[in-house]
Amino acid sequence: MALVIAAATPFHGHVQPVLTVAADLVRRGHEVVVLTGSRFAEDVRAAGALHVSLPPAADFDDRRLEQHFPGRAAFPTGPAQLDYDMKHVFGDPTAAQYQALRTLLARRFPASVVISDPLFLGTTALALSAPPGRRPVTVGLGITMPTLLSEDAPPIGLGMPPLLGEGAKKRHREMNDQVKEAFAGAQRHIEENFKGSGTELPGFILDCLATVPDHYLQLTVPGFEYPRGDLPSSFRFVGPLPAAPRAPRPLPEWWAEVECARQPVVAVTQGSFDNRDLGRLVRPAIEALADQDVLVVAATGRADGPAEIEAGGPVPENARVGGYVPFDALLPYASVLVTNGGYGGVHQALRHGVPLVVGGDGEDKPEVAARVQWSGAGLDLRTGQPSPEAVRDAVLAVLGEPGYHARAAGLRAEIERHDALDAIAEVVARAAS
């Protein structure tokens, strides 16, 4: 049995994959403490682990970011807001996270392994605080695309695939230099935060997220990520995590129509978190396909979601709108998924061999969408607020071109050859031996 600390920045999208890992390690007989935000205490206990809250300087409620970071609203979605987030949302908690880890290790829980999402920078500071053997083994979970700069691919943030042909590597290096220049202020700010924890950041922060941990386990397969010849030896593709177990929910009253549908089923979602305004993607998709021979199944991810859609106008006859629709039940019937592009949700679709139409903005979603199109598994709408016409054209293109389904099936087969939980458990077992 190993003692494991699983640490997560208190965002829903960061905590859930860490909890999936924690629950699996508990099932395998390990003792796990989850260090994260106070609002996730019940979720941690449901996973069978012990919850420890982050100290106030590092704890916040991601549903109310404007209360914790009042200056954030002044920056528009995009590079300016990312710069703010790197400085204040992720950078400023570094010393408090690091001290919480040190205190937990020294007084209550002498773990042999610390697993965390990459932006939990307290773990990065822990890895820098002492050489291996004098501290726990650190494991970074690649819950989104690699942030490493490379001469083989553009830097993240541009939402573009690798350039091809003569001069591509040179152009990638030039773009990397531009990103470093744009991040210079954030870099200095984060370096000061590391000094506050008594450590020194050894390079560019977007590189360090993946190079500093002893192990970096990317939660995808090579076929969904831009090829790079300069990855460190500690970097490994392990495949996506399985969907987190959820309490059983009753299927919608119209579910038999999904099971018996003769026409293609088009699933639509804005995810389980970024769904406050269903007019961004769900409503346009419903309107776009109203006159097509398809069955549209919109999963709003909210109990009041169907009421919001109905308040916006009549629901077309070929559309069914639900609150919480279990995607493990829906995706086997889906011919295409229209989604805002969350990393986990996209991989859930690919696990079922379902091609995608992606319309998302903010956070990592443009990068996910770009990889969907680059991989051949679907189309990128290049906006988080597409017009109904754009959605319709993309859905019909994916339904009408067998290549999208073939590529999604190929990625499904590649995913089936990986087991992320086994790979993580192997690292834990080696560290504890």
The answer on 355 and 281 residing in a single domain is yes
State yes or no: pLDDT of 80 exceeds 90. Answer: no
Domain of 222: which CATH number?
A: 3.40.50.2000
Half-sphere exposure of 148 toward its Cβ, with a 13 Å CA cutoff? 21
Give me the pLDDT at residue 275, please.
66
What are the start-end ranges of the H helices in 132-200? 168-182, 184-196
pLDDT, mean of residues 370-397: 97
For residue 86, tell me if it sits in a domain.
yes
DSSP 150: B
At 117-146, the pLDDT tens digits run: 999 999 999 999 999 999 999 999 999 999
235, 209 Cβ separation under 8 angstroms: no
Count of structural domains within the chain: 2
164 pLDDT higher than 70: yes
Look at 39-43, 182-186, 279-283, 397-401 and tell me which has the smallest mean pLDDT.
Answer: 279-283
Q: Parallel, antiparallel, or unpaired for β 356-358 and 265-269?
A: unpaired
pTM comes to 0.94
Question: Rounded CA gap, 169 and 76, in Å?
Answer: 31
Question: pLDDT tens-digit profile of 319-354?
Answer: 999 998 989 999 999 999 999 999 999 999 999 999
Indicate the pLDDT class of residue 276, thresholds 50, 70 and 90. Answer: confident
Q: Which two tokens stand for residue 428?
A: 């834990």
Residues 48 and 162 in one domain: yes
- Assess if residue 170 is contained within a domain: yes
Structure tokens at 58: 């590092």
Beta strands in 155-256 (DSSP E): 215-218, 235-237
| 247 in a structural domain | no
Q: Which residue has the higher pLDDT, 302 or 285?
A: 285
In the beta sheet, which residues pair with residue 280?
A: none
- Looking at every residue in the chain, the average pLDDT score rounds to 95
Question: Residue 215 domain-assigned?
Answer: yes
Residues 339 and 389 placed together within one structural domain of the fold = yes
Q: Which domain holds residue 83?
A: 3-239+418-432
Q: Would you say 237 and 218 are in contact if contact means Cβ atoms under 8 Å apart?
A: yes
Average pLDDT over residues 160-165: 95
| Cα–Cα distance, 108 to 11 (Å, whole number) | 25
Cα gap 218→347, rounded to integer Å: 12
Q: Give yes or no: residues 346 and 390 share one domain.
A: yes
Are the C-beta atoms of 218 and 228 separated by less than 8 Å?
A: no
On whether both 267 and 185 belong to a single domain, the answer is no
Q: What span, in angstroms and rounded, lies between the C-alpha atoms of 400 and 297?
A: 19
pLDDT tier for residue 432 given thresholds of 50, 70 and 90 = confident
The structure tokens listed for 17 are 């994959």
What pLDDT shows up at residue 298? 95
Picking from 261, 270, 431, 295, the residue whose alpha carbon sits closest to that of residue 363 is 270
Residue 184 pLDDT more than 70? yes
Sheet holding 265-269, edge to edge: 319-322, 295-299, 265-269, 334-339, 356-358, 378-380
Residue 156 · residue 145 · CB < 8 Å: yes
* Assigned domain for 246 exists: no
- Together in a domain, 168 and 28: yes
Sign of the alpha-carbon dihedral angle for 34, 40, 45, 47? negative
Pair (17, 125) in one structural domain: yes
Q: What are phi and psi of 31, to 5 degrees?
A: -100, 125
Residue 75 in domain? yes
Residue 249 counted as domain residue: no
Same domain, 112 and 168: yes
Q: What is the pLDDT, as a whole number, of residue 310?
A: 86
The verdict on 118 and 153 lying in the same domain is: yes
Whether residue 77 has pLDDT greater than 80: no
pLDDT at 92: 98
Q: Say whether both 399 and 425 belong to one domain.
A: no
Q: What is the average pLDDT across 47-69?
A: 95
Q: What is the pLDDT of residues 214-247, one digit of tens each?
A: 999 999 999 999 999 999 999 999 999 998 777 6
Which of the residue ranges 19-28, 76-85, 292-301 would you say has the lowest mean pLDDT?
A: 76-85
Which pair of tokens denotes residue 237? 């593709």
Q: Does 163 lie in the same domain as 44?
A: yes
Q: Is 145 helix (H, G, I), strand (E, B) or coil?
A: coil
Q: Is residue 250 part of a domain?
A: no
On whether both 222 and 357 belong to a single domain, the answer is no
